[in-house]
Amino acid sequence: MKIKEIYNILDKIAPFDTQEKWDNSGLIIGSLKDKFETIYLSLDTDSELIENLNENSLLITHHPLIFSGLKTINYDIYPSNIIKKMIQKNISLISLHTNYDKAHLNRFVVEKVLGYRVAKCDEFICYFEVEDIFDNFFQKIKSDLNLPFAKFVKTKKFIKTAAITTGSGAELIGEVKADCFLSGDIKYHQAYEAMENNLSLIEIGHFESEIYFAQSLSENLKNFNIQAIIANSKNPFKYE
């Protein structure tokens, strides 16, 4: 199968022209004319993952390996070390980042992982009804997302509505119209902003909230009779 064929399918699933201007979703390594034998899906691209992939393969990730222009190709450092190995093994790379967030990932986590029904999605923010006390909701989120621990800001005892942005969405705090906001990479001053605006927060981690990308995309690809292997990267963080 040619990369161009799978690229066109991915464009139907999550149109590349809907990505943010700063993003770099699309074909990262390879040529649309190239052929591949196996498709792998992963959140990220790391050295160990590439070592374990077969040659002549296509890797589809959520996060682009290259976000901006490279001024040097130094094989001793990231990401050039990985690019070199991928070229040696003839492994092509396509990424679906902000375009996939908007089209599928936030909704998938709400409905398939957390078990709620999406009320509406506004770009990167998905809203859903909770109708539970904060303490119960917090424990459910920790359990469902397999969080080893979770930071939170509690401004309300009862949560009627919640919103989620998987990955890093704390910059959207000022736009959220809900009782509680779930996202990753929340900074200290952003937590203060939420507290002063009477918005509860639950920090759900970047990796932990987006690791479902491969599962979600796999299900979408099956609608086109495309089979892929989930070979997710590892969380760079360790917890004790």
Write the CATH number of the domain with boundaries 3-99+212-230.
Answer: 3.40.1390.30
Fold matches, 3-99+212-230 and 102-207: yes
- What is the β-pairing status of strands 180-184 and 125-133? unpaired
The pLDDT confidence band at residue 174, using thresholds 50, 70 and 90, is very high
Region 178-206 average pLDDT: 97
Beta-bridge partner residues of 94: 27, 60
Q: 55 pLDDT exceeds 90?
A: yes
Write the CATH number of the domain with boundaries 102-207.
Answer: 3.40.1390.30
pTM recorded for the entire structure: 0.96
Q: 221 pLDDT exceeds 90?
A: yes
Locate all alpha helices (DSSP H) within the chain, ordered by sequence. 3-13, 47-52, 80-88, 98-100, 106-108, 134-144, 188-196, 206-210, 213-222
- Domain residue limits, the chain: 3-99+212-230, 102-207
The pLDDT confidence band at residue 191, using thresholds 50, 70 and 90, is very high
